[in-house]
């Protein structure tokens, strides 16, 4: 059973608009969450993270929101740019310090 | 340091052959992970090392798979008697575990194709 779920396999957004990528998790013991971005034929690149003691973390155009009671986090990208087109993975750190990944959401930002 | 390095980038092998991949982590990182990613899936945890000690193995890591990190620096992942189902991207990542909430940095991966 998947502990980290990204229920939208794909998302298409117009350039300049907001992209919202969602992620749900089942294990309340997860205490650190990360978003990675992946281009084809490359490894995932770290984007932004959030500790479970916070509900928001912002870095430039990227903001991650955490709702612990709902076991839900989201990544907001605003404004979206064509270069943001990639697969975005949500990940959670377990008690061993390992990262558990979702299946990813493919974001397409159209000019 | 240029980040996590994996070699080779691509490997095509015949079914039944053995293959070995290498990962060089970021030099000061004491934790090293191996993940596998197949099409449409996120990276799936295989195993990790804290320095030279292999501390955890996923049930995905069958007896045909073995990983080593002999000096606590680079690591190798060997797959014996490869099967077509082993075709995937094998990703290595490293992190500095003294800093609890820190990201893992990934290499570019080794794409394995078993024919």
SS (H, E, C) B29-44: CCEEEEEEECCCCCCE
Among A98-102, B33-37, B64-68, B90-94, where is mean pLDDT lowest? A98-102
Cis peptide, bond prior to residue B8, ω within 30 of zero: yes
User: Would you say B49 and B39 are in contact if contact means Cβ atoms under 8 Å apart?
Assistant: no
From chain B, pick out residues whose CB is under 8 angstroms from the CB of A98.
33, 45, 48, 56
pLDDT digits (tens, 9 = 90+) for A70-89: 999 999 999 999 999 999 99
pLDDT at B98 over 80: no
Task: Name which of A42, A44, A49 is nearest B43 (Cβ-Cβ).
Answer: A44
pLDDT number for residue A91 = 96
CA atoms within 13 A on the CB side of A26: 9
* A45·B106 Cβ contact <8 A: yes
- pLDDT attached to residue B101: 66
Q: Do B106 and A43 touch (CB under 8 A)?
A: yes
Contact A73, A64 (CB under 8 A): yes
Give the three-state DSSP class for B70. coil
**Counting beta carbons within 10 angstroms of the beta carbon of residue B63, is it exposed (0 to 12), middle (13 to 18) or buried (19 or more)?**
exposed
Confidence of residue B100 (pLDDT cuts 50, 70, 90): low
**Which sign does the torsion angle of CA B48, B52, B55, B59 carry?**
positive
Cα–Cα dist A94/A105, whole Å:
21
- CB of A92 within 8 A of CB of A25? yes
Cβ-nearest to B107 among A31, A36, A43: A43
Q: CA-CA distance, B32 to B93, in Å (whole number)?
A: 6
Consecutive H or E run containing A27: none
Name which of B37, B42, B104 to mutate to probe chain A: the one with the most chain A Cβ atoms within 10 A of its Cβ: B42
Distance from the Cα of A66 to chain B's closest Cα (Å) equals 16
Computed over its alpha carbons, how large is the radius of gyration of chain B? 13
Token pair 């087109």 is found at: A85
Res B91: pLDDT: 97
């Amino acid at each position: 059973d998947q502990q980290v779920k990204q229920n939208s396999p794909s998302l298409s957004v117009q350039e300049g608009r907001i992209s919202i990528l969602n992620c749900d998790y089942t294990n309340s013991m997860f205490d650190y969450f990360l978003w990675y971005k992946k281009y084809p034929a490359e490894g995932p690149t770290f984007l932004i993270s959030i500790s479970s003691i916070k509900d928001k973390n912002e870095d430039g155009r990227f903001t991650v929101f955490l709702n612990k009671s709902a076991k839900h986090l989201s990544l907001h990208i605003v404004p979206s740019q064509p270069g943001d087109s990639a697969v975005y993975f949500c990940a959670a750190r377990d008690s061993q310090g390992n990262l558990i990944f979702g299946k990813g959401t493919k974001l397409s930002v159209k000019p | 340091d240029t980040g996590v390095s994996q070699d080779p980038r691509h490997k095509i092998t015949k079914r039944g052959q053995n293959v070995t991949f290498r990962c060089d982590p970021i030099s000061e990182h004491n934790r090293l992970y191996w993940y596998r990613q197949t099409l449409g899936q996120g990276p799936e945890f295989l195993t990790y090392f804290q320095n030279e000690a292999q501390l955890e193995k996923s049930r995905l890591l069958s007896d045909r798979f073995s990983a080593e990190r002999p000096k606590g620096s680079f690591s190798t992942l060997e797959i014996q008697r490869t099967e077509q189902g082993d075709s995937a991207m094998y990703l290595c990542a490293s992190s500095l575990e003294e800093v609890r909430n820190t990201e893992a940095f990934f290499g570019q991966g080794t794409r394995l194709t078993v024919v």
